[in-house]
Structure 1
Amino acid sequence: MEEQNYSNHRRYVTGYHRVLSALLLVGLITSVVNVFRHKPYHGGFLSSVLIVLLFVCSFFLMTFLRTFPLKAQDRAIRAEEGLRYFILTRKPIDSRITITQIAALRFAPDDELIPLVDRAVAENLSANDIKKSIKNWRSDHHRV
């Protein structure tokens, strides 16, 4: 597997993120145009409206298919990184740290984790700032 670092750690699935998004957007626009081409109470209007509703539902489905697993994975990452921090320090991780910061900290090796947590809390570092601060990247190839 390719070594992971800041520049290549994001995962994009072309078929999902680009192709499916584009197809749904084109379908939605086309179906809305189709509704305006049909007059109410004439043939085809109800079918056109139903097609628009299907595309809107598909957008919701696409969004939820991505966000629900990520929320569950965020909970797992919070637990894993909280346990790792506890093992290293014998203290719970600071409650002021956010899940986005914790998700970024998972790339830090053990020797960089504690100072980065302290900096993240003190300076309210963004996830990108945390990732850019990591010197020896710890890969995570299991993120959805």
Structure 2
Amino acid sequence: METQHYGNHRKFYAPHHFIYLPALMVLEVFGIYKICSDESNQLTWILFSVVIFLLLYLAIMLRQHYALGLQNRLVRLEFKQRYFELFGQRSDEVEEKLKFDQIAALRFAYDDEFKELLYRALHESVSGDDIKKSIKKWKPDHHRV
């Protein structure tokens, strides 16, 4: 398995990202083309295009909404557990001061860097993306949605 780092940490689901969504986009473009070229059935092609657009929109939004909502919840739980293991105390006050992108970025750092980057996140308000870019030794996460 390839070593994970900032440049390759995003994950795609091939059937969804490279087959289903492109097929819907092609159908949408085809429907728009037919609206312009087939004047006798224009209303039918408008309806076709609207239905395809709604399917495309729902496919993107529902998949993202459920998967990311659950993943975000798990990331927060992981942060709480890790904070407790490293510092021996609850993380509620610390977690309230952090934005989610900072919490998510911290999970890619090993324990020694985690402490340093957590301090920077709390006191310097560095963004999650800057935290990721600051990580010297990347802790991979191959189990994300």
Q: TM-score range by the shorter chain?
A: 0.7 to 0.9
Unaligned runs of 5+ in 1: none
- Which deviates further from its counterpart, 8-17 or 90-99? 8-17
Q: Kindly report the root-mean-square deviation, in angstroms, between the aligned alpha carbons of the 2 structures.
A: 2.1
CA contact (8 A) 2:80 2:90 kept: no
CA contact (8 A) 1:6 1:132 kept: yes
> What residue number does 1:68 align with?
66
DSSP 3-state at the match of 1:2: coil
What CA distance in whole angstroms lies between the structure 2 residues aligned with 1:45 and 1:6?
48
> What residue number does 1:56 align with?
53
Cα separation, partners in 2 of 1:70 and 1:94, compared to 1, 3 Å: closer
**Normalized against structure 2, the TM-score is what?**
0.82
CA drift at 1:21: 3.9
Higher helix content, 1 or 2: 2
> What residue number does 1:12 align with?
12
| 1:23-60, Cα deviation, whole Å (9 max, x unpaired) | 33332122123224444xx5x34431221122112221
> What residue number does 1:22 align with?
22
What CA distance in whole angstroms lies between the structure 1 residues aligned with 2:20 and 2:130?
31
Pairing partner for 2:44 from 36, 44, 47: 47
**Normalized against structure 1, the TM-score is what?**
0.82
CA drift at 1:119: 0.5
Matched residue pairs, number? 141
